[in-house]
Structure 1
Amino acid sequence: VFDQRQERLGTVTLLRDITVAKALDELKSQFVSMTSHELRTPLAAVQTYIDTLLGGFAGELTDQQRGILERCSQRLTALVNLVDDLLDVSRLESGRVERQIVTLDVCEVMREVVALSQMEADARQVSLRIEAPPEGLTVEMDRSDLVRVLTNLVSNGIKYNRPGGTVTLRAHDEGYYARIEVIDTGIGIPEEALPRLFGEFYRVKRPETASIPGTGLGLSIVRRTVEFYKGRVEVKSRLGEGSTFTVLLPRGQATLRL
């Protein structure tokens, strides 16, 4: 606070008690975690029953019956993915994630992610490619974290692509950082949507995306995971041309102690 001659008179400090807000936030996280765990088991059981019927183990199916069961299976898969994403977000929010930090070969993990995503890519007629430095590139982090980050980005690149399109994983050594890019030739993202893209439950609402399944949590999980390692994630996109998601990860573990 200053007087008319701009001489300092004192300082005003405002304090706000957020105890109740913190308690409510913790209750919310506990509720989401508990509910998701309780849903996971019965959903898995239902999926098993549907797979049994589709496999013909309970008798022959008519075309109409098979079509109904296949649609049920698709919707159930979307629900299971939602529950899994909610569990991931709950763990990240609470800090209850158990991590085993090891030295990872980025190219090796990229090849693993491509293998995991190949069936989805084939179903949508999308090609997967890897471009990586021949000498290898390493980071120090939990393997499941890097797999989760890249799988989410590659899956999005496949889902929002076109038949005959491509998703390319590219890695660079930038000294302090390992730079990993996931580049797709898909439908692109409107410029006005980019600032909100990594928010929880946010999905771009366009006619082209209305039929594409998703929870709106995948990119939020990517951002939270990358930021734990003091890294950052960026996106560039042009409508009708595709998107490039860039993950920058510090190469040393020392950053985790900052």
Structure 2
Amino acid sequence: MDEQRTKDDRTQIARHLKQIEQREADLYKAVSEDSIGQTDLLSYLAALSNALEELRVTESALYQQNEQLSSIRETLENEYRHYQDLFEFAPDAYVVTDAYGEIQEANQAASELLSLDPKYLVGRLLVSFVPEDHQRVFRSLLSQLQTLDRIQERELKLLAKNQKSFDAALTVSVVKDCQDKAIALRWLVRDITARKQMEQQLQQMQLQNLELVECDRLKSQFIATMSHELRTPMNAILGFSNLLLRQFHSRFEPQQLRMVERIFQNGQQLLTLIEDILDFSKLRSRQLELQLESFDLCELVTTLLEELRTQKNQKNIEIQVHLAQSSLMVANDRKRVRQILANLLSNALKFTDQGRVTIEVELWRDDRVAIAVRDTGIGIADSDLSRIFQEFWQVNQTITRCHGGTGLGLAITKSLADLMNGQISVVSQLDQGSTFLVELPRHLTDLHTPTKKPD
């Protein structure tokens, strides 16, 4: 628009100048012929005055336009310098080529990436930085740019002047003229060698993870199978040793009797370990299903304490029982609730050398049952509390080796509590004892047990 206005102003000035020249010629002729009158002279002078005024107005307009054009030129020059700075000092490599891939401009990052000074990059074909076995792919890329306006993140191998190859991601945009003809190509080149290495490492890690998952599955399957296979002969050993104790008790000499009792006791301990491993395997593979029934929780606690009296008597530890009511009917899996109680009480008796063990049963609000097992044993350090329910982990390996165990008891207890829509927590201090609190719903009805997988 400014250009058209300037053109119109120039045309108007030329017309005024022509009129002034014509007036001047007429006036000169009239004066030379001495035929001009005063009236005509005044008319010519007025016309000259008007023409001069119009020239002054036009001159002022041209001056303003010139000022505007100077300002616009300065702005364009600043923007161009700004563009050049951005282009030159950009962190990524930028290259401008013609439609055939001949380099016209290259920034400092491109120079460093291709190991060649920018002034030597200009005039070279970009394909010369592509290894021979990848040049066909590059030429195919150039062909696609004849119909596409932009190609995003095309990966290609490049070869720097120092013969160092690297993986590059190319983004290309096409510059077109007013006739929609491609006149230049703008290339953004990124070195993605580190990213490709990371991707390869990630793929390796994913493959290793799949292998670990498969190994874990095979391990769980092996543990479950072996636990079943071990439990069968162990039940036979326990059965026959118990039969010997009951039917031939009076015929054994004291030493023989102790040997048979030792077989029976160690068999029971081994069977308990096998059962723990089997339960842990089922819980981990989500194959354990609860068998719901109605039973008296208080009666279960009393019966369990009677069964543990041998372990209690060996240490001469006092066991206290606090039941909020004489009978408390619950709906749950009796066997698994007994397992939770047995694990907690056995641990309390195992790690308490003097003092007492207390078990409390209460009915809380929202129809939930709370079972607390307290002891005056060795306690647990604060640093170990966060890991106390991890499988195969024991607080003090030296101490716990004296008592045996697989390190699965508390892990199984927590998994069972979670399966029952309950929770378990612990409060403890070293040499001050521990308190384990299990909270379970009284009536377990909203149960989402997993479907048992086929063997």
Query: What TM-score bracket applies, with the shorter chain setting the length?
Result: 0.7 to 0.9
Query: Quick check: 2:234–2:271 contact (8 Å CA) kept in 1?
Result: yes
Change beyond 3 A, Cα 1:71–1:213: farther
CA distance in 2, matches of 1:103, 1:55: 33
Query: 1:39 pairs with 208, 212, 230, which one?
Result: 230
Q: Does 1:233 align with 2:429?
A: no
Q: Does 1:85 align with 2:264?
A: no
Q: Does 1:113 align with 2:307?
A: no
Provide Cα deviations, 1:185-213, integer angstroms capped at 9, x if missing partner.
Answer: 21212222211111111112265444112
CA displacement at 1:168 relative to structure 2: 1.2
Residue type of the alignment partner of 2:411: S
Query: Quick check: 1:78–1:214 contact (8 Å CA) kept in 2?
Result: no
Change beyond 3 A, Cα 1:24–1:137: same
Greater mean deviation of Cα atoms: 19-28 or 241-250: 19-28
Give unmatched runs, 5+ long, in structure 1. Answer: 1-13
Q: Percent identity?
A: 34
Provide Cα deviations, 1:143-192, integer angstroms capped at 9, x if missing partner.
Answer: 111100001101111111114x3211101222122111011121212222
Query: 1:180 pairs with 352, 371, 388, which one?
Result: 371
TM (norm. structure 2) is 0.47
Q: Which residue matches 2:337?
A: 146
Change beyond 3 A, Cα 1:76–1:190: farther
CA displacement at 1:62 relative to structure 2: 8.5
Query: Quick check: 1:81–1:215 contact (8 Å CA) kept in 2?
Result: no
Change beyond 3 A, Cα 1:57–1:112: closer
Flag the structure with larger Rg: 2
Query: Quick check: 2:414–2:424 contact (8 Å CA) kept in 1?
Result: yes
Greater mean deviation of Cα atoms: 215-224 or 126-135: 126-135
Greater mean deviation of Cα atoms: 234-243 or 21-30: 21-30
Q: Does 1:166 align with 2:356?
A: yes
CA displacement at 1:98 relative to structure 2: 3.9
Secondary structure, aligned partner of 1:202: coil
CA distance in 1, matches of 2:260, 2:345: 28
Greater mean deviation of Cα atoms: 220-229 or 66-75: 66-75
Greater mean deviation of Cα atoms: 140-149 or 104-113: 104-113
Query: 1:203 pairs with 370, 385, 394, which one?
Result: 394
Residue type of the alignment partner of 1:227: D
Query: Quick check: 1:33–1:87 contact (8 Å CA) kept in 2?
Result: yes
Q: Does 1:193 align with 2:384?
A: yes
CA distance in 1, matches of 2:310, 2:216: 39
Secondary structure, aligned partner of 1:95: coil
CA distance in 1, matches of 2:326, 2:233: 47
Provide Cα deviations, 1:100-123, integer angstroms capped at 9, x if missing partner.
Answer: 212333212211221221222112
CA distance in 2, matches of 1:209, 1:70: 24
Change beyond 3 A, Cα 1:190–1:71: farther
Query: 1:252 pairs with 443, 447, 454, which one?
Result: 443
Give unmatched runs, 5+ long, in structure 2. Answer: 1-201, 450-455
Query: Quick check: 1:126–1:167 contact (8 Å CA) kept in 2?
Result: yes
Q: Which residue matches 2:290?
A: 99
Query: Quick check: 2:298–2:326 contact (8 Å CA) kept in 1?
Result: no
CA distance in 2, matches of 1:253, 1:57: 46
Change beyond 3 A, Cα 1:60–1:138: closer
Query: 1:129 pairs with 320, 326, 339, which one?
Result: 320
CA distance in 2, matches of 1:73, 1:230: 37
Q: What's the Cα RMSD here?
A: 3.2
Residue type of the alignment partner of 1:172: E
